[in-house]
A = this chain, B = another copy of it.
Amino acid sequence: MKVLIYNEFVHESHEGPAKDMYPRGMHMAISEGLQKIDDSLEFSYATLEDHKDVITKEKLADTDVLVWWGHMRHHLVDDDVVTLICEAVNQGMGLVVLHSGHESKVFRRLMGTRCGVEWYERQDHGRIWILDPTHPIAQGVPNPLEIEAEETYAEPFTVPTPDELIGVTWWQGGEIFRGMSVYHRGFGKIFYFHPGHETLPSYYNPGVIRAIDNGIHYVAPRVRVDEVTSHHIEPHEPKY
């Protein structure tokens, strides 16, 4: 299973609380967490700085699941790379979108909506309640999954109705959030999962890592096609 992690890697590349929390970057914290519980994953990485070189059509064709963390520099992500990624998802590549990736160009283009949230940053306690304990992504994840401190993302979350609503987060401050969902787009699946503020320890939380690991396996491609388009057919002659 080939997993490519994109991390904007701006916050943690400078001295400050993000680097204090994730000294080698969030991408490394995520992959190290995953490697402890799952030896089937083979990782590679991209950052804002090198993403145009790394995330090529060939690389995406050789990637099972792309994991995306971005925040303040969404606008600097190259539009052609975004197009390649959205095509790859529609052809079957899996995508895991974390935290502030909800406003990334990739996620917004795949959703067709603004993907806005109400938010504040108070390090509130969050508690993710699993609605479907039988879902593959929920296996081994505590119910509820306690997040000791997080940035609060709240409804209305302007996304389409999720194809699979796995969990809803309760917030100490009084809000709720559909922050653990799966969307289907073409031959691909997308897992959105909200924990992961850059100065908070969510990626050291074993339940969070378990959910990300389950999510990677869940969105991994079962069927992958080279192209999705319209086809002129003769009657009774399907293409997929």
A residues with a Cβ closer than 8 A to B are 86, 90, 92, 103, 109-114, 116-120, 122, 124, 127, 129-134, 136, 139, 143-144, 152, 154-156, 158, 160-161, 163, 165, 168-171, 173-176, 178, 183-187, 189, 221-223, 228-236, 238-240
- Please determine whether B231 and A118 come into contact, CB atoms closer than 8 angstroms: yes
Known: A92-B134, A240-B133. A152 touches B235 (CB 8 A): yes
A189 surroundings in chain B (CB, below 8 A): 134
- Please determine whether B174 and A235 come into contact, CB atoms closer than 8 angstroms: yes
A154 surroundings in chain B (CB, below 8 A): 129, 233, 238
A127 surroundings in chain B (CB, below 8 A): 174, 236
Complex: A124 Cα to B124 Cα, angstroms: 20
- Please determine whether A236 and B174 come into contact, CB atoms closer than 8 angstroms: yes
How close is A113's CB to chain B, nearest CB, in angstroms? 5
- Please determine whether A90 and B113 come into contact, CB atoms closer than 8 angstroms: yes
Complex: A189 Cα to B133 Cα, angstroms: 13
A118 surroundings in chain B (CB, below 8 A): 230-231, 233, 238-239
Known: A120-B233, A131-B156, A230-B117. A86 touches B103 (CB 8 A): no
A156 surroundings in chain B (CB, below 8 A): 130-131, 133, 238-240
Known: A156-B131, A171-B170, A176-B129. A232 touches B185 (CB 8 A): no
7 A-B pairs with the lowest CB-CB distances in the bound complex, closest first: A173-B235, A116-B230, A110-B112, A114-B228, A112-B112, A118-B233, A134-B223
Complex: A205 Cα to B55 Cα, angstroms: 45
Complex: A103 Cα to B239 Cα, angstroms: 18
- Please determine whether A114 and B136 come into contact, CB atoms closer than 8 angstroms: no
A231 surroundings in chain B (CB, below 8 A): 116-119
- Please determine whether B187 and A160 come into contact, CB atoms closer than 8 angstroms: no
How close is A112's CB to chain B, nearest CB, in angstroms? 4
Complex: A121 Cα to B113 Cα, angstroms: 34
Partner of A136 from the list B161, B186, B222 (CB cut-off 8 Å) is: B222
How close is A161's CB to chain B, nearest CB, in angstroms? 6
